[in-house]
Structure 1
Amino acid sequence: MKRPFHALFALALAAPLASAALAPLPAAAQQPAAATAQAVADHFSSVRSMTGNFLQFDAAGNQSEGTFSIERPGKIRFDYSGQPLRVIADGSQVAINNARLNTWDLYPLSQTPMKLLLDRRIDLSAANIQDVQQTPELITIVMGDRSVFGSSRITMMFDPNTYDLRQWTIRDQQGKDTTVIIDNVQEGVSVDQAQFAIPYNQISQQSRGRIGGGR
């Protein structure tokens, strides 16, 4: 039986988000906010790949870390240090692997907030950009996305001088936040495509084995 999505530690990176929709930006704030969001979106769209380290904090204050690789559109990999967990998106599916238990869980990328992070471009339509704030330290963009699966929410934070991505926060279906901070980032690097390969044949064989073993 598939384990509950929200129960997996790694799913702060991949879980479907809260269904509560955010209100659009007030009309008076839309023009300057849109200009800032456009500048960030143009830079972010120009970065096709990146690698680095990550530090993750969940709603309970638990901390984990590891390495990541991203190739947009649609591909990401997170390897957790000291834990048998990895998260892989290949452009279509998100796979959560527990190497110790030799288990895999698959979810459509379109149902996760990572689709907002991994899209070819940030969608600047009013329905997607829910809030834009700028301080001397960070530019914060809150994005929502409505689909047949409900509403998604991700908060991304960028350097105000370089527009480089610094961290993001995901709100899960229980209203709990998980923040991922990235550093030692290298942009525009060549990433081995094998990093994003999901072993569908192996997963299918394991699924058949579990079904057969339950008879």
Structure 2
Amino acid sequence: MRPTRRSIALGLAALPVTGSVAGPALAARPAIAPLSAEDRALVDKAAAYLQDLTEAKGRFVQTDARGTMTQGAIYLKRPGKARFAYEPPSGLLVVADGANVSIADSRLKTFDRYPLMATPLSIFLARQIRLDKGVVVSRVSRLADGFSITARDGKREAEGEITLTFSNDPVALIGWAVTDAQGFSTRIRLASLEKTSGLASSLFVLNDPRPKNPGRAKM
């Protein structure tokens, strides 16, 4: 089974990163043990950081389930908005407008749109970051210089999960991995992500660029 364009692109847009690797469909999940007080403290620290991250821009490097690496520019504007502009030779442009995630591929001349709430990205693009309500945190891992949190939307278990990776000092988002319902994982590493303000609204608008009547001859 091959990863779909949706699983590849939404890893972005859905931030090396820890997380699951490509594989077969996700098996039934075992019962999740309650978080320890130390784990909960890290979750609260991550939520506070994300809540304060209202606008940001930077660079990203993406590795999809087939090992293909691409890079580009990232723009975030909470709630709900993100833009991933991939550099050539990739033809991808991915935009979350607050309600949907749109994916345009200029090379393949395709355009797809998915509800933002049906993707794990909605967890950290939400207006109110709540990692203790409506979100299932399945794992908190300590790393040499940071920590990672694996979570999924409690109401959309089949839609996959996201692993957010943070540095310790200072606390900052440095990457993420999205694993879809088929078990394919896309990893994003942030080369830089800095807070900013005044990002243009036009950055978060992506309409279908294809001709409305492609079979119609020009007059």
* TM-score tier after normalising by the smaller chain length: 0.7 to 0.9
Q: Do structure 1's residue 109 and structure 2's residue 137 form an aligned pair?
A: no
CA contact (8 A) 1:44 1:163 kept: no
User: 1-side partners of 2:180 and 2:163: how far apart?
Assistant: 12
Instruction: From 57, 78, 90, give the equivalent of 2:97.
Output: 90
Residue of structure 2 equivalent to 1:13: 12
1:152 deviation in Å? 3.0
Structure number with greater CO (CA < 8 Å, separation at least 6) is 2
What secondary structure is seen at the aligned counterpart in 1 of 2:190?
A: strand
- Which residues in structure 2 correspond to 1:1-215 (within 5 Å)? 6-7=4-5, 9-13=8-12, 20=27, 22-23=29-30, 25-27=32-34, 29-82=35-88, 83-120=90-127, 121-125=129-133, 127-147=135-155, 150-199=158-207, 206=212, 209=213
Letter in 1 for 2:123: L
> Which structure 1 residue ranges, 5 or more long, are not aligned?
none
User: 2-side partners of 1:108 and 1:183: how far apart?
Assistant: 27
**% of aligned pairs identical?**
27
* Cα 1:161–1:80 shift into 2, 3 Å: same
RMSD of aligned residue pairs (Cα, Å): 2.8
1:110 deviation in Å? 1.1
1:136 deviation in Å? 3.2
User: 1-side partners of 2:27 and 2:134: how far apart?
Assistant: 17
User: 2-side partners of 1:126 and 1:168: how far apart?
Assistant: 20
1:66 deviation in Å? 0.6
CA contact (8 A) 2:56 2:75 kept: yes
> Which structure 2 residue ranges, 5 or more long, are not aligned?
15-24
Letter in 1 for 2:4: H
* Cα 1:148–1:142 shift into 2, 3 Å: closer
TM-score (norm 2): 0.80
1:20 deviation in Å? 4.9
CA contact (8 A) 1:74 1:118 kept: yes
Structure with the bigger percentage of helix: 1
TM-score (norm 1): 0.81
How many pairs were matched up? 203
User: 2-side partners of 1:111 and 1:127: how far apart?
Assistant: 13
